[in-house]
């Protein structure tokens, strides 16, 4: 129980990578707050944590909206007394050529993948700064390291996540450690909506890397972006 007494917010916590992260952190004793727009899914995640003996809270949240994120932070602090870990995982993607991408789709991607991180980090930071030390893990992508055809706007958003990670790490020094995790294709509902193949990576592989970064003994330098590869590829 290496995270006993710690409290973690996980956005996009209703399914896929987010749910796997919630469960992995809970197994190490963390209090888990699952946040997403779909209330039913985050309630299911919270119940899965409770069945394992953990403490969990589900807070319906649209990370694009500042008022939603302020409420998420307030409810977390009211329930558990503080915030030690923030996992910015919420994300959306459309597989389209840039010339076919609509302005509405552009904003849907950027507002969730970038502005969502801004909102969550901004409002959680006063509490993360009280932790010893607080941790922020931003879920970027392999597409945040290398541009991918038909994912230009998604790639741009994930490059931005790495930029935010590096800048924030420099701003905060040792006060809060900030990381980006950059998976390749992961077998999730979002990926299956974009492609027909089944990737080798599973949500649990990403959760393992996030957990590693959250542990007190983690020695990875703040600001690092870590790519995650299939363990048997």
- In eight-state DSSP terms, residue 138 is E
CA 111 to chain centre: 15
Q: Pick from 24, 17, 16: which is nearest to 8 by CA?
A: 24
Give yes or no for a contact between 142 and 155, defined as CB atoms under 8 angstroms apart: no
Give yes or no for a contact between 144 and 161, defined as CB atoms under 8 angstroms apart: yes
Catalytic residue among 123, 154, 179, 191: 154
Residue 22 CA to residue 45 CA, distance in Å, equals 8
Q: How many CB atoms lie within 10 A of CB 95?
A: 13
Let me know if 154 is a catalytic residue: yes
Tokens in use for 155?
Answer: 């790639």
Catalytic residues: 154
């Amino acid at each position: 129980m290496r995270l006993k007494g710690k409290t973690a917010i996980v956005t996009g916590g209703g399914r896929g990578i987010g749910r796997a992260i919630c469960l992995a952190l809970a197994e190490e004793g963390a209090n888990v707050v699952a946040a997403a727009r779909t209330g039913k899914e985050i309630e299911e995640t919270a119940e899965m944590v409770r069945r394992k003996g953990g403490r969990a809270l589900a807070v319906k949240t649209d990370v694009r909206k500042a008022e939603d994120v302020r409420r998420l932070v307030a409810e977390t602090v009211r329930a558990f007394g503080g915030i030690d870990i923030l996992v910015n995982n919420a994300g959306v993607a459309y597989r389209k050529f840039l010339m076919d991408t609509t302005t509405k789709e552009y904003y849907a991607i950027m507002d969730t993948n970038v502005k969502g991180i801004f909102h969550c980090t901004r409002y959680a930071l006063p509490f993360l700064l009280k932790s010893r030390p607080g941790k922020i893990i931003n879920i970027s992508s392999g597409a945040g390291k290398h541009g991918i055809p038909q994912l230009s706007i998604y790639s741009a958003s994930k490059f931005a996540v790495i930029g935010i990670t590096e800048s924030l790490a420099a701003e905060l020094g040792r006060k809060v450690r900030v990381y980006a995790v950059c998976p390749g294709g992961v077998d999730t509902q979002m990926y299956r909506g974009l492609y027909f193949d089944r990737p080798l990576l599973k949500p649990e592989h990403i959760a393992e890397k996030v957990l590693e970064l959250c542990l007190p003994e983690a020695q990875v330098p703040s600001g690092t972006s870590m790519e995650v590869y299939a363990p048997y590829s």
